Amino acid sequence: MNPTYDIGRSLLHGIDEEAIQGVLLSLQEMSPHIGRYIVEVFGQLFSDPALTYAQRELVIISALISLGDCPNQLKWHIGFGLKAGLMPEEAVEIATHCIPFCGFPRALNAIGAAKQVFAERGIEVRVEDELEDHVQARRERGLKKLEEIDGEHGEAVVQSLQTMAPRLVEQIVEFTFGEIYSRSVLDVKQRQLVTIAALTAQGGCEPQLQVHLNAAIRVGLTEQQVMEALLQCAPYVGIPKTINAVHVARNVFMT
């Protein structure tokens, strides 16, 4: 008897039985044990109510976008995320939000994957450029959003770069916060989940992760939710990157 496997199988079948059966059948001949591991991971992680299924898929999709080399898995999880409660517009916005953290190429690849999933499912999505007529106000908007999200930690980052890299400061204030963070569809809690997943997946971004973990608490995520988001990353980005992220979170929680 394997209760974790049974929970995972029930969960996966309840959301998208056809999709998980396809994955398990593809592994059956050469690596059935990996199929079992996948089901057990779902049973272990998704059964904790600290994050909803949709929030967990938001984290996974963000991590896979940031990794940049998992197109099949990204498509699978976009599809699974839709079944778990993500809206198509939210899937698009996750990719948009990842741009400052993992770059345009990976975000564009993610948009391409999302378009394929939508086409296969007959989903029509049209996202407007909601800030196109407000470009002139983005610096002021960005400064306000930076204060709202990151507080003194964000201001410290901006000040540390002001002399040597003023154009980078401009990108942080005007683009990251004045454009990306100021868009609708995702709320501030969702955006911080996307951010910490993307940074965890990148690896080597511990100083930036510390800033955004502080921001996650600042905007209302609980310590348990933050830890669940980091643990959710482990099967997709690897244990070493997750350990590093957990150490950063421990330091944030202790201060």
21 belongs to a structural domain = yes
Q: What is the mean pLDDT of residues 90-102?
A: 98
**CB neighbour class for 4 (10 Å; exposed up to 12, middle 13-18, buried from 19):** middle
Domain that holds residue 2: 1-47
Per-residue pLDDT, 231: 98
Asked if 215 and 77 count as a contact pair (C-beta separation under 8 A), the reply is no
Q: Please give the pLDDT value at position 156.
A: 83
43 located within any domain: yes
Residue 130: inside a domain: no
Check residue 151 and give its pLDDT.
83
In a domain, 76, yes or no: no
End-to-end CA distance of the chain: 43
Counted domains in the chain = 1
| Amino acid 1: pLDDT | 64
pLDDT-derived band of residue 13, with 50, 70 and 90 as boundaries? confident
Domain contains 15 = yes
Distances (CA, A) of 200 to 99, 110, 194: 15, 18, 10
Q: Look at residue 8 and tell me if it is in a domain.
A: yes
φ, ψ dihedrals at 168, nearest 5°? -65, -40
pLDDT in tens, 195-253: 999 999 999 999 999 999 999 999 999 999 999 999 999 999 999 999 999 999 999 99
State mean pLDDT over 67-95.
Answer: 96
Mean pLDDT across the stretch 176-190? 96
Q: CA dist 51 to 55, 225, 230, Å? A: 6, 6, 11
Burial of 120 (0-12, 13-18, 19+ CB in 10 A): exposed
At 34-72, the pLDDT tens digits run 999 999 999 999 999 999 999 999 999 999 999 999 999
Does residue 13 fall inside a structural domain? yes
Domain assignment present for 10: yes
The three-class DSSP label of residue 164 is coil
Of the candidates 124, 132, 58, the residue with the CA atom closest to the CA atom of residue 90: 58
CB 120 within 8 A of CB 155: no
Task: Please name which of 36, 35, 40, 31 lies closest in space to residue 11, comparing C-alpha atoms.
Answer: 40
Q: For residue 2, is pLDDT > 80?
A: yes
pLDDT given for residue 87 in this prediction = 97
101-159 pLDDT, tens digit each: 999 999 999 999 999 999 999 999 999 899 998 888 999 999 999 999 988 877 788 88
**What is the pLDDT, as a whole number, of residue 113?**
98
